[in-house]
Amino acid sequence: MASDKQPLRIGLIGFGCVGQGFYDILQQHPGLGLTVASIAVKNPDKPRPLSADRFTYHADELLNDPTLDVLVEVIDDAAEAFRLVSAALRQGRRVVTANKAMLARHLPELLQLEQQHGGVLLYEAAVCGSIPIIRTLDAYFSHEPLRSVRGIFNGSSNYVLTRMSEEGSDYATALAEAQALGFAETDPSLDMGAFDPRSKAVILAAHAYGVLLNPDDVLNLGIEAVGAADIAYAAARGQKVKVVASLQRLPNGRVAALVTPQLLGPESPLFTVEHEFNGVVVEGEYAGPQFLRGRGAGGHPTGSAVLADVLALRRGLRYGYTKQAAAPAVQPAENLSLDVYLRHADAGVLREVLTWLEMPATALHTDVHGVHASGVVPLLRLLQWRDELRANGVFVARRGEVQAGVAAVAEPLQAEALA
Ligand SMILES: NC(=O)c1ccc[n+]([C@@H]2O[C@H](COP(=O)([O-])OP(=O)(O)OC[C@H]3O[C@@H](n4cnc5c(N)ncnc54)[C@H](OP(=O)(O)O)[C@@H]3O)[C@@H](O)[C@H]2O)c1
């Protein structure tokens, strides 16, 4: 029976940034009754802060150890994480993971295994580090219809954008700093290409709306091509460039999801979320807007979320996924449009991009930094040309939220007068 005093033996798989952060917090709180009984890592030659006899190099040993009450999976290999977590759930075990890439790809299968074999899977650390957003959506808002969930879910790209806008750093220098500080994923393109925040948006959609999205269907545009001209364009309008994930209920009741850079003004609480911090604005039908801000990455903040999950498991918590029972349909991209700003140093490339996106030649503008374009584009075209936009180094930011319909014509924005 679940008891909040029951001692637990933990099997820890992964002893990197998050694993060590979690371990360190536990050492400072010996009274919790949580013991890390086994630790699995990969590389036998790596120097470790603990004696070598504390480690195994075969994670399967932890899977096969029935004396472990909880498995904590915090490795940086999504495929191997899926193998380990799904095997543990097949054994009906209690599992905590932080692996958002793995969860976003395999959530339906993992939920099925959890139900079939009576195990439990919690993963608060996978979204926004220390911010308790999954439990907030899953438990607190379990029955409240949500208008939207919007947020900055990636600390590394937010750090880069903050350094570029506040200190005038160039992109490469700011990215190197984020990597040196340990905010960036092992593969930085996951952060800068907005793949990481897309995984988090997919996970939150399961709790906020009960919908299980395929990550590939969710538009993700990153900041790999952002430059000083884009930061200056935003600043001239009193705005900042932020990578914002949006889950939104449309007037027809369907849900739309996307993650792109957005030009945000001070009217948004996300405007003040800087450096490696994350922020989420949840807008409930009855509760109205609420804003959570906190550290989205790092050993201790993420370790704190892992600890909260282990303690919650001990109390018998499992996610309710209440909204799955009456989940709304997902709005196909065919019927959506987006007001965007685009820039590329080469006017010829930009002209070609306009044809891909079905934008008129009049969308092209010149300013002191060169050429850019703006106007309303069908979301479907952005999805179809996503890889080409990225490969050609075209920076794209939206200037608002997704709109139902594709027939909308760009209003000549007052802001263009500033160009
Ligand atoms: N870092 C963050 O702030 C943060 C925040 C939220 C979520 N996450 C997620 O948390 C997970 C861990 O991230 P991290 O930053 O802690 O990664 P990390 O610092 O690169 O550490 C990864 C750890 O996993 C171990 N590992 C890799 N493959 C393994 C295998 N097959 N068997 C056993 N151990 C294996 C590595 O072993 P070696 O030590 O031998 O190399 C290392 O200890 C990832 O899914 C990440 O997306 C991270």
- Per the CB < 8 A criterion, the answer to whether 210 and 323 are in contact is yes
CB 380 within 8 A of CB 342: no
Domain-by-domain residue ranges, the chain? 8-130+314-322, 133-294, 333-418
Count of Cβ atoms closer than 10 Å to residue 275 Cβ: 17
Structure-token pair, residue 65: 């150890």
pLDDT score recorded for residue 417: 35
Distance, CA of 36 to CA of 360 (rounded, Å): 61
For residue 251, how many other CB atoms are within 10 A of its CB?
7
Q: Architecture of 8-130+314-322 per CATH?
A: 3-Layer(aba) Sandwich (3.40)
Q: Is 240 a catalytic residue?
A: no
Question: Catalytic one among 5, 42, 200, 240?
Answer: 200
Cβ atoms of 228 and 170 within 8 Å: the answer is: yes
**pLDDT at residue 414, as a whole number:** 36
CA dihedral 141, 142, 144, 145 (to 10 degrees): 110
Cα(389) to ligand 1 centroid in Å equals 31
C-alpha to C-alpha distance for 1 and 277, rounded to whole angstroms: 38
Question: For residues 302 and 25, what is the distance between their CA atoms, to the nearest angstrom?
Answer: 11
User: Which residue is listed with tokens 């590389």?
Assistant: 43
Q: Which residues contact 148 (CB under 8 A, 6 or more apart)?
A: 246, 247, 248, 249, 281, 282, 283, 401
The span from the first CA to the last CA of the chain, in angstroms, equals 65
> How remote is the CA of residue 15 from the centroid of ligand 1, in Å?
7
Span 133-294 CATH architecture: 2-Layer Sandwich (3.30)
> Under CATH, which number does the domain 333-418 receive?
3.30.70
The pLDDT averaged over each successive group of 10 residues in the chain (419 residues) is 82 97 97 97 97 97 98 97 98 98 98 98 96 98 97 96 94 92 81 97 98 96 97 97 97 94 98 97 98 94 97 97 92 89 96 95 91 96 97 97 66 35
* 134 HSE (CA, 13 A, CB side): 28
How many angstroms separate the alpha carbon of residue 103 from the centre of ligand 1?
Answer: 15
Mutation probe of ligand 1 site: the residue of 74, 130, 276 with most atoms within 8 A of C-beta:
74
